[in-house]
């Protein structure tokens, strides 16, 4: 588990704790969407349904890949 400093909505500095694998996938998703890491985290923060931002990020990454996998 590692801590990463992020900026939400361009004004709110905070840190998140993620496994390196989840962080790398978060960066990959941001690159695929052609947005910055902080823009993606801001989106996740604005749409999350859990209290914890780090958990919301993990769920977002999981759901991104679940939705992109053919059933």
Instruction: Determine phi and psi for 35, rounding to 5 degrees.
Output: -130, 165
**CA dist., res. 63 & res. 20, Å (int):** 18
- Token code pair at residue 19: 């496994």
Strand ranges inside the chain, DSSP E? 2-8, 12-18
pLDDT at 67: 85
Q: What is the crossing angle of helices 20-33 and 37-47, to 10°? A: 100
pLDDT score of 70 more than 80: no
What would the pLDDT profile of 4-62 be if each residue is shown by its tens digit?
999 898 888 999 999 999 999 999 999 999 999 999 999 999 999 999 999 999 999 99
């Amino acid at each position: 588990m590692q801590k990463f400093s992020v900026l939400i909505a361009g004004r709110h500095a905070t840190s998140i704790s993620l496994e390196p694998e989840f962080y790398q996938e978060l960066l990959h998703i941001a690159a695929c969407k052609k947005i910055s890491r902080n823009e993606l985290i801001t989106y996740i923060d604005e749409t999350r349904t859990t209290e914890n931002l780090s958990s919301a990020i993990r769920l977002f990454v999981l759901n991104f890949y679940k939705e992109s996998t053919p059933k």
